[in-house]
Structure 1
Amino acid sequence: MKRFLALTAFIASFSQLSTAQTTPTDPLPPKGSKVYTSSSLDGALFSMSTSSYNGITNIPRFSYFINSGMNVNKDFSNHFGMYAGFGVKNLGYIEKGNTTSGVSITVKRRVYAVGIPIGFKFGNLKPKGTFGLIGGGVDFPTNYKIKTFTDGRKNKTKSNEWFSKEVTPVMPYVFAGISLKGNFTIRFQYYPGNFMNQDYKDANGAKIYSNMESKLALVSLSFNVKNKSDGKMSQTFKAIFHHEKKKA
């Protein structure tokens, strides 16, 4: 967790070094500038998986930390532009059901992933305009964590592993969304590949995920974080970091 706090702090701080006073959904660059940088923050991320096997189904998962990044933007006109960047996401899903012996079980899976998005903007790109977003990207899982609860929440086990072979090492995705008046963005994102690595073998050599379909879909609600010209981290990012450090 400390490593990811440091990584996200670096992303946020680096994005603040830009003198641009724009965000991913502030479409027009400052006068005289053709390319500009911006920072982003997903205030909420709701995700689910298509996973369903052995009587286990999935339920929606909510996360708000860590989902942030930096983008480089270019607007070709008041109606069309594009951006690319990098960021960190908290991805995962929750499985729930009963074992073959009738014991209730809940499994929570999540990864911290570093990703590279590329998107296109079309519509009214003037300040406070409403426009659409479409694009894709790729995420690379780094830290995998699993929590298992049986018999309600009475019995709990968990594990945490860096660069685990249990999850797919490369996760491409596509997305589409809408930005409302340059302040708030709703985006749908879909991962056509499996979240869990179907070729993974356990200690006994068994491919425990070979029959498990786990395609991830999510909806993100993004809020804009204005860059500051003095290179200091924004108050929004500071509040999140302080809150998470207290939890740790």
Structure 2
Amino acid sequence: MFKLRKILPLITLVFLFGLNANAQDAKKNKKSDLYVTGGLEIIFSGNTGLKMAGQEINSGVMRFAPVINWQTIFNADFGNRFGLFSGIGIRNVGMIFDVPTDHVEDNVDGPVRKKVRSYNLGIPVGFKVGNLHGFFLYAGYEFEIPVQYKEKTFVSERKTDKFSVWFTDRVNYQHSLMVGLQFPYGTNLKFKYYLNDYFNSSWGDNQSKMKGTDLNYNQITGNVFYVSLNFSLFRNTKFYYSEYEKKHTFPQS
């Protein structure tokens, strides 16, 4: 299972490097540059540490989520090599997994696969370090509130049930760490790891069980992670900048 302590030293080192770069750059540019950007995110997610009733499961499936993932970012650049950001976004987060045969309901004939997702309202905070008008690295933390949950049940690869519900307690509030690379012309690659379980361990035993199984939601543990491709996250709606635009819109480092 992914261990947070393995990446904390790296994040700390990058942050300290950014502070040092910012201190040097501040001598040249005392003013901060404030602006708003936004962009789409295409998500490829998986899960780690997935367990059902204490039994470890190795049947997680990669999940593709191209919609709806939108982010609005508020940027504060302190010179050309260090900046901070926050914002708000809506994100499609979930997992796909196969239910062990010993947890499938007796009246179900065939293997069961579950596809679950929630639309989360997220608030990120983070920092950027590097050439902020070209290639740079960023990292941060994000808090997400699940707004709308959907669950699909497949038996022998045929969909047999689907339901959705608003503001359910089935899913936890999510805490995550992220790190990413911004490329010069608007494309962005990001990795995010969710620190807590996807499902809520406080979901009561007397509440609804997961359809097609004998499992309660509080018996399922596991964390979501994803890699995503972002567009124009820290730039405006143009993917390409001419030499004139780069010279007059973005100060050169």
Work out which of the residue numbers 174, 179, 183 in structure 1 matches 2:182: 179
TM-score normalised by structure 2 residue count: 0.70
TM-score normalised by the chain length of structure 1: 0.71
| 2:124 alignment partner AA | P
Indicate the residue corresponding to 1:37 in structure 2.
Answer: 36
Structure 2 runs not aligned, ≥5 long: 1-30, 210-214, 239-253
Q: Tell me if the contact between 2:126 and 2:138 (Cα under 8 Å) persists in the aligned partners.
A: yes
Q: Aligned with 1:58: secondary structure?
A: coil
| Structure 1 residue 200 corresponds to structure 2 residue 203 | yes
Q: Which residue in the other structure is 1:134 paired with?
A: 139
Change (3 A) 1:81 1:114: same
Measured after TM superposition, the shift of residue 115 of structure 1 is 0.6
CA deviations 1:37-82 (Å, max 9, x no partner) are 111211x101112224357521010011110021111110111111
Contact 2:37 2:232 in 1 (8 A): no
In the TM superposition, 1:1-248 aligns within 5 A as 34-42=33-41, 44-50=42-48, 51-53=50-52, 56=57, 57-100=59-102, 103-126=110-133, 129-153=134-158, 156-168=160-172, 170-203=173-206, 208-224=216-232, 227=236
Alignment coverage as a number of residue pairs: 193
**What is the SS of the residue equivalent to 1:193?**
coil
- Give structure 1 stretches of 5+ with no counterpart: 1-31, 229-233, 235-248
Question: Pairwise CA RMSD of aligned residues?
Answer: 2.4
Whole-Å Cα distance in 2 between the matches of residues 221 and 227 of structure 1? 16
Deviation at 1:34, TM superposition (A): 2.6
Which amino acid in 2 is paired with 1:113? N
Larger radius of gyration between Structure 1 and Structure 2: 2
Stretch deviating more after TM superposition (59-68 or 95-104)? 95-104
The separation in 1 between residues aligned to 2:123 and 2:69, in whole angstroms, is 13
1:8 — aligned with what?
none
Percent of pairs with identical residues: 32
Deviation at residue 205 of structure 1 after TM alignment: 8.3
